[in-house]
C-alpha cells in the first residue's frame, strides 16, 4: 500500500534510564493501530513470563488507525500490557482526547519499558510538537485523578489532554485503571479500565502523560474527496437512524433486566427489584432540574453517549455513568439508587479503579457476609479509605478473585481472573463462549452477543465473528457504540491510504490480532484448560427458566479455530 | 404478508428466527400473532398496552409515530423492532 499519513513514529520511553527515543513507524504496519498494534508490539517485545508489575513488562498506548482524522467517533486509544489481574495479555480501550492528540503528533504508539530504581519516584511524560520529555512528578504523588488533572490543566496549555494513574495504580492494585481526559472539561472521566493496566503504569513510576498537539489540524487522507464523502454519508446515515445510544448506555438497564442479565447480589439472580431506581431514564430526568446532559467524550463524536451527572444542588458529580457501573456497583451489590452509584463511580474515577472489577469485588465481600447488602455508605467509606486501607481494602483494589481469597468465599464469578461484567453468560451463552476464549478473560467488549435464542451449534461462529469484528473495531479508533461493520472500517482505511483494503485483508487483521494475543497467553502459561468460567456459572441458575452456562468444551474450542468467512462477518455491526 | 424483523436480543422466544412473515392487518395484530406463535414475545416489546420506552418500531424504514399500533399494514410491509442492546 502507498500513500496516507507519512512521518509517523513510535515513541519508546525507558523508565530505568529515563530516556526517550523516536523510531519510524514501519510502513508494513500501516493498517495496524489500537489493539492489533498493541498485540504485535507486546508479542514481539514483552516477555510473556515476566512479572506484570516488574521492569520487564511493557506498557503500550496506541491510538486507532483513524484517530486524528475527520472520521466520526474515531479517536479511541488502546492501552496494552501484561495484565497483573489475569497474568495474560490485556488491551483496555478508552475514549477521551489522548488518542486524537497522539495521532495529530504522528505518534502511533508510546511504548513504556523499564522501571525507576527508586519505586518512590514519580514522573510525567510531556509530548508536544517539540518532542518527548520525562519530568519529575513527585509533587503529584498520591494525588487523586480529578485534583491531578485540575493542576495539570493549570500547568499545560488549553490544547493538552492527559492520561494518568490514580492512587490505586500507584499502589499497584490489580484493578487499577488508566484515566483519560474528556473533551469539554478535561475531567479524568474516561478510563481504560479492565485488567489493571493502571497498576502497570504506576509500577513504572509514570503518574501522567500530557499530550499537547497545539493547533495541529486533522490528519489528511490520501483520498481527501473519497474520505470526505465517506464521512458525510456515514454521519448522515447514522443521524437518520434510531440513534439508540443518545441517552447513554444507562438506558439499557430495563432491557437487560428483562433478559435476566442485570445481576443482583453477586449474580445470585439475573434481575434486580431496584431496576426502576437504577434505570438510566432517572439520570436523563435529572437533567431538567439539575443541569448536566449528554456530550461527546472526544472531538468528532456523533454518538454523544456520555452523560454529565450533577448532584441535587446542580453541581457536577461524575461523568459517563454507564450500564456496567450501574450493574456491578449498583444491582450486583443491591445498591438501590443511581445517585449512590454516581458517588461510587466518582470515587472509582478519582482513585483510578475499574468500576466493574471493584463492584464485583464488593459483591463478593457482601456475599461473604463481611458487608451488608446495599450498604452504599459503607462502600463509599471503604473506597475513600482505600489508599491507606487495611488488607480488606487492598483485596477490593486487587479485584474479585483476590477478595474471594481474602474472604474464603466460594462464589467468585470470573474468567481467567477477570470479573464477569453485567452481560451474563448464563442467558447469553454465546457471550459466555467469548468470555471463555477471549485472550482478555471475561470482557464483554471483546465480543458481545445478545441473542438468547441462539442454538448451541451457532455459539462458536457467533463468538468468533464478534471477537474478530470487535478486534478490528478496537484497532481502528472507532467507538463500538458507533457500531461500524468490517466493510465500513475497510472503506475508511481504503480512503485513508488511497488503496482498497479487501475483505480478506480486514479479516486477516482481526484474526491475526487474536492469534497474537492467544500466542502471548500460551507463552505466559495458559492452556485449553483455562478457557472456562468460574464453577458458579455452571451451578447457579438464573432466568425464568433456570439456566446455567453449560456449553461443551468442544464448542468452546471450536470458537478458536479459524472458520471460513461468511457474509455476515463483514456486515455485522461491532457490539460491546 | 407483512414481515416482522426481530432483533437478536429478542430472538429468545423465536429461537433465533430473525424474520417472521405474519398474516396480520395492523401492527397490533402482528404483535398478537407473534405472541400466539412464540409465547413470551410480546412482553419483550410491550409493557401492558404500550410499547416499552426503550423499544422503537419502524415500518418500512420509518419510525412509527406514536407508536400507532392500529396502523394498517400492506402485504409487502416490513416492521422492524429496534432496541439498544450493548453497553459498557
Domains detected in chain A: 9-211 (3.60.9.10), 245-419 (1.10.569.10), 429-571 (1.10.599.10)
Q: What is the pLDDT of residue A5?
A: 61
Burial class (CB in 10 A: 0-12, 13-18, 19+), A76: buried
- Give yes or no for A458 touching B (CB within 8 A): yes
Side-chain-facing half-sphere of A101: CA atoms under 13 Å: 28
**Chain B residues lying within 8 Å of A422, measured CB to CB:** 87
- Evaluate whether A119 touches A209 at the Cβ level (below 8 Å): no
Q: How far apart are CA A168 and CA B76, in angstroms?
A: 59
Residue A120: asked if its preceding bond is cis (omega within 30°), the reply is no
Decide: helix, strand or coil at residue A559: coil
| A358, A526, A561 from A52: Cα distances, Å | 20, 15, 28
Side-chain-facing half-sphere of B82: CA atoms under 13 Å: 18
- Evaluate whether A71 touches A63 at the Cβ level (below 8 Å): no
Alpha helices in A498-531, H assignment, sequence order: 503-523
Q: What is the pLDDT of residue B86?
A: 65
- Evaluate whether A89 touches A58 at the Cβ level (below 8 Å): no
- Please give the torsion angle defined by the CA atoms of residues A297, A298, A302 and A304, in that order, rounded to the nearest 10 degrees: 0
Side-chain-facing half-sphere of A95: CA atoms under 13 Å: 30
Q: Identify which of B11, B44, B84 has the shortest CB distance to residue A251.
A: B84
Cross-chain residue pair B9–A254, CB shorter than 8 Å: no
Q: How far apart are CA A247 and CA A252, in angstroms?
A: 10
Q: Which residues of chain B have a Cβ shorter than 8 Å from any chain A Cβ?
A: 8-9, 11-17, 43-44, 52-54, 56, 58, 63, 82-88
| Residues in a beta bridge with A94 | A77
- Evaluate whether A92 touches A193 at the Cβ level (below 8 Å): yes
**Chain B residues lying within 8 Å of A480, measured CB to CB:** 86, 88
Q: What distance, in Å, lies between the first and last C-alpha atoms of chain A?
A: 31
Interface of A with B in 307-336 (CB under 8 A): 322-324
Q: Which chain A residue lies closest to B6 (C-alpha atoms)?
A: A451
Domains of chain B: 3-83 (3.10.20.30)
- Give yes or no for A39 touching B (CB within 8 A): no
Per-residue pLDDT for chain A (576 aa), expressed as one digit of tens each? 333 467 999 999 999 999 999 999 999 999 999 999 999 999 999 999 999 999 999 999 999 999 999 999 999 999 999 999 999 999 999 999 999 999 999 999 999 999 999 999 999 999 999 999 999 999 999 999 999 999 999 999 999 999 999 999 999 999 999 999 999 889 999 999 999 999 999 999 999 999 999 999 999 999 999 999 999 999 998 888 878 788 889 989 998 998 999 999 999 999 999 999 999 999 999 999 999 999 999 999 999 999 999 999 999 999 999 999 999 999 999 999 999 999 999 999 999 999 999 999 999 999 999 999 999 999 999 999 999 989 999 999 999 999 999 999 999 999 999 999 999 999 999 999 999 999 999 999 999 999 888 999 999 999 999 999 999 999 999 999 888 999 999 999 999 999 999 999 999 999 999 999 999 999 999 999 999 999 999 999 999 899 999 999 999 999 999 999 999 999 988 887
Decide: helix, strand or coil at residue A264: strand
Cross-chain residue pair B16–A451, CB shorter than 8 Å: yes
**Chain B residues lying within 8 Å of A322, measured CB to CB:** 87-88
| Residues in a beta bridge with A209 | A125, A163
Residues in CB range of A55: below 8 A, 6 or more apart: A15, A16, A113, A114, A115
Q: What is the pLDDT of residue B88?
A: 65
Q: How far apart are CA B56 and CA A251, in angstroms?
A: 13
- Evaluate whether B13 touches B41 at the Cβ level (below 8 Å): yes
- Evaluate whether A300 touches A309 at the Cβ level (below 8 Å): no
- Give yes or no for A94 touching B (CB within 8 A): no
Backbone angles phi, psi at A185, to 5 degrees: -110, 0
Decide: helix, strand or coil at residue A572: coil
Q: DSSP label at A564? A: P
- Give me A410's grid cell: 466460594
- Evaluate whether A322 touches B84 at the Cβ level (below 8 Å): no
Cross-chain residue pair A453–B15, CB shorter than 8 Å: yes
Q: Which chain A residue lies closest to B80 (C-alpha atoms)?
A: A242
Q: What is the pLDDT of residue A433?
A: 98
* Exposure class string for A174-190: b at 16+ Cβ within 10 A, else e: bbbbbbbbbbebbbbbb
Pairing state between β A293-295 and A89-94: unpaired
**DSSP H or E run through A198:** helix A197-203
Q: What is the pLDDT of residue A315?
A: 97
Q: Inter-axis angle of helices A400-407 and A355-367, to 10 degrees?
A: 20
Q: What number is the ipTM of this complex?
A: 0.79
- Give me A327's grid cell: 450493574
**DSSP H or E run through A279:** none
Q: What distance, in Å, lies between the first and last C-alpha atoms of chain B?
A: 38
**Chain A residues lying within 8 Å of B46, measured CB to CB:** none
- Given a cut of 90, whether residue B48 has pLDDT beyond it is no
Cross-chain residue pair B15–A455, CB shorter than 8 Å: yes
Residue spans of beta strands (DSSP E) within A286-363: 293-295, 306-310, 316-319
Q: Identify which of A450, A453, A454 has the shortest CB distance to residue B85.
A: A450
Q: Identify which of A250, A254, A259 has the shortest CB distance to residue B9.
A: A259
Cross-chain residue pair A453–B54, CB shorter than 8 Å: no
CA angle A310, A313, A319 (to 5 degrees): 10
Q: Identify which of A252, A281, A453 has the shortest CB distance to residue B87.
A: A252
Cross-chain residue pair A422–B12, CB shorter than 8 Å: no
**Chain A residues lying within 8 Å of B54, measured CB to CB:** 251-252, 254-255
- CA gyration radius for chain B? 12
Q: How far apart are CA A71 and CA A235, in angstroms?
A: 9
Q: What is the pLDDT of residue A2?
A: 31
**DSSP H or E run through A451:** none
Q: Which residue has the cell 497545539?
A: A214
- Evaluate whether A176 touches A168 at the Cβ level (below 8 Å): yes
- Evaluate whether A338 touches A283 at the Cβ level (below 8 Å): yes
Q: How far apart are CA A556 and CA A470, in angstroms?
A: 18
**Chain B residues lying within 8 Å of A245, measured CB to CB:** 84, 86
Q: Which chain B residue lies closest to A93 (C-alpha atoms)?
A: B88
- Neighbouring C-beta atoms of residue A564, cutoff 10 Å: 6
Q: What is the pLDDT of residue A6?
A: 75
**Chain B residues lying within 8 Å of A242, measured CB to CB:** 56, 58, 63, 82, 84
Longest dimension (CA), chain A: 63
* pTM over the 0.90 mark: yes
Q: Which chain B residue lies closest to A322 (C-alpha atoms)?
A: B88
Decide: helix, strand or coil at residue A515: helix
Burial class (CB in 10 A: 0-12, 13-18, 19+), B70: exposed
Residue B67: asked if its preceding bond is cis (omega within 30°), the reply is yes
Q: What is the pLDDT of residue B84?
A: 65
Burial class (CB in 10 A: 0-12, 13-18, 19+), B23: exposed
Cross-chain residue pair A453–B11, CB shorter than 8 Å: yes
Q: Identify which of B14, B52, B86 has the shortest CB distance to residue A453.
A: B14
Q: How far apart are CA A219 and CA A226, in angstroms?
A: 14
Q: Identify which of B8, B44, B84 has the shortest CB distance to residue A258.
A: B44
Cross-chain residue pair B86–A576, CB shorter than 8 Å: yes
Q: Inter-axis angle of helices A338-351 and A280-290, to 10 degrees?
A: 90
Q: How far apart are CA B74 and CA B60, in angstroms?
A: 11
Interface test with B, best of A423, A429, A450 (most B CBs within 10 A): A450
Q: How far apart are CA A438 and CA A559, in angstroms?
A: 9
Interface of A with B in 257-276 (CB under 8 A): 258-259
Cross-chain residue pair B12–A452, CB shorter than 8 Å: yes
Q: Which residue has the cell 486507532?
A: A64
Q: How far apart are CA B67 and CA A567, in angstroms?
A: 33
Q: What is the pLDDT of residue A3?
A: 32
Amino acid at each position: 500500500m502507498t500513500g496516507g499519513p507519512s512521518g509517523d513514529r513510535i515513541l519508546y520511553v525507558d523508565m530505568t534510564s529515563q530516556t526517550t527515543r523516536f523510531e519510524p513507524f514501519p510502513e508494513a504496519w500501516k493498517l495496524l493501530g489500537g489493539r492489533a498494534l498493541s498485540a504485535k508490539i507486546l508479542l514481539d517485545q514483552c516477555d510473556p513470563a515476566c512479572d506484570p508489575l516488574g521492569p520487564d513488562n511493557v506498557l503500550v498506548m496506541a491510538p486507532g488507525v483513524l484517530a486524528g482524522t475527520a472520521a466520526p467517533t474515531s479517536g479511541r486509544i488502546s492501552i496494552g500490557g501484561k495484565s497483573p489481574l489475569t497474568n495474560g495479555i490485556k488491551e483496555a480501550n478508552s475514549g477521551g482526547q489522548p488518542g486524537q492528540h497522539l495521532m495529530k503528533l504522528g505518534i502511533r504508539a508510546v511504548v513504556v519499558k523499564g522501571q525507576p530504581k527508586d519505586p518512590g519516584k514519580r514522573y510525567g511524560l510531556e509530548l508536544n510538537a517539540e518532542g518527548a520529555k520525562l519530568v519529575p512528578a513527585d509533587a503529584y504523588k498520591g494525588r487523586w485523578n480529578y485534583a491531578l488533572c485540575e493542576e495539570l490543566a493549570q500547568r499545560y496549555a488549553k490544547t493538552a489532554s492527559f492520561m494518568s494513574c490514580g492512587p490505586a495504580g500507584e499502589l499497584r492494585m490489580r484493578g487499577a485503571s488508566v484515566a483519560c481526559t474528556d473533551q469539554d472539561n478535561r475531567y479524568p472521566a474516561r478510563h481504560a479500565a479492565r485488567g489493571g493496566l493502571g497498576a502497570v503504569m504506576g509500577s513504572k513510576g509514570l503518574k501522567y502523560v500530557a499530550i499537547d498537539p497545539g493547533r495541529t489540524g486533522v490528519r489528511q487522507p490520501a483520498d481527501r474527496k473519497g474520505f470526505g464523502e465517506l464521512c458525510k454519508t456515514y454521519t448522515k446515515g447514522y443521524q437518520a437512524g434510531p440513534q439508540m445510544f443518545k441517552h447513554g448506555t444507562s438506558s439499557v438497564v430495563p432491557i437487560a433486566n428483562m433478559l435476566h442479565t442485570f445481576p443482583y447480589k453477586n449474580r445470585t439472580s439475573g434481575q434486580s427489584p431496584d431496576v426502576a431506581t437504577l434505570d438510566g431514564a432517572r439520570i436523563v430526568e435529572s437533567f431538567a432540574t439539575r443541569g448536566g446532559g449528554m456530550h461527546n467524550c472526544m472531538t468528532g463524536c456523533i454518538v454523544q453517549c456520555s452523560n454529565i451527572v450533577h448532584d441535587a444542588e446542580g453541581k457536577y458529580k461524575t461523568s459517563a455513568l454507564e450500564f456496567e457501573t450501574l450493574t456491578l456497583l449498583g444491582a450486583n451489590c443491591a445498591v438501590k439508587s443511581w445517585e449512590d452509584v454516581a458517588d461510587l463511580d466518582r470515587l472509582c474515577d478519582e482513585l483510578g479503579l475499574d468500576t466493574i472489577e471493584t463492584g464485583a469485588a464488593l459483591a463478593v465481600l457482601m456475599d461473604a457476609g463481611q458487608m451488608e447488602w446495599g450498604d452504599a455508605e459503607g462502600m463509599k467509606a471503604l473506597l475513600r479509605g482505600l489508599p491507606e486501607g487495611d488488607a480488606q481494602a487492598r483485596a477490593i483494589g486487587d479485584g474479585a478473585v483476590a477478595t474471594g481469597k481474602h474472604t474464603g468465599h466460594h462464589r467468585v464469578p470470573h474468567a481467567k481472573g477477570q470479573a464477569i461484567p453485567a452481560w451474563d453468560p448464563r442467558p447469553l451463552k454465546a457471550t459466555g463462549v467469548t468470555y471463555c476464549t477471549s485472550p482478555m478473560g471475561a470482557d464483554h467488549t471483546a465480543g458481545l452477543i445478545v441473542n438468547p435464542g441462539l442454538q448451541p451449534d451457532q455459539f462458536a461462529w457467533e463468538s468468533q465473528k464478534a471477537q474478530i469484528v470487535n478486534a478490528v473495531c478496537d484497532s481502528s479508533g472507532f467507538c463500538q457504540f458507533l457500531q461500524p461493520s468490517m466493510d465500513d472500517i475497510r472503506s475508511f482505511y481504503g480512503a485513508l491510504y488511497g488503496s482498497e483494503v479487501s475483505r480478506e485483508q480486514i479479516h486477516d487483521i482481526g484474526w491475526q490480532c487474536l492469534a497474537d494475543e492467544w500466542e502471548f497467553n500460551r507463552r505466559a502459561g495458559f492452556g485449553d484448560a483455562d478457557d472456562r468460567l468460574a464453577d458458579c456459572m455452571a451451578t447457579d441458575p438464573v432466568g425464568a427458566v433456570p439456566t446455567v452456562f453449560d456449553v461443551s468444551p468442544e464448542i468452546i474450542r471450536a470458537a478458536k479455530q479459524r472458520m471460513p468467512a461468511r457474509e455476515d462477518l463483514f456486515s455485522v455491526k461491532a457490539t460491546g | 404478508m407483512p414481515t416482522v424483523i426481530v432483533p437478536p436480543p429478542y430472538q429468545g422466544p423465536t429461537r433465533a428466527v430473525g424474520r417472521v412473515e405474519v398474516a396480520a392487518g395492523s401492527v397490533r395484530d402482528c404483535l398478537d400473532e407473534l405472541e400466539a406463535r412464540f409465547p413470551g414475545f410480546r412482553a419483550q416489546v410491550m409493557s401492558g398496552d404500550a410499547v416499552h420506552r426503550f423499544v422503537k418500531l419502524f415500518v418500512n424504514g420509518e419510525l412509527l409515530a406514536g407508536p400507532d399500533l392500529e396502523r394498517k399494514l400492506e402485504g409487502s410491509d416490513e416492521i422492524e423492532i429496534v432496541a439498544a442492546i450493548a453497553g459498557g
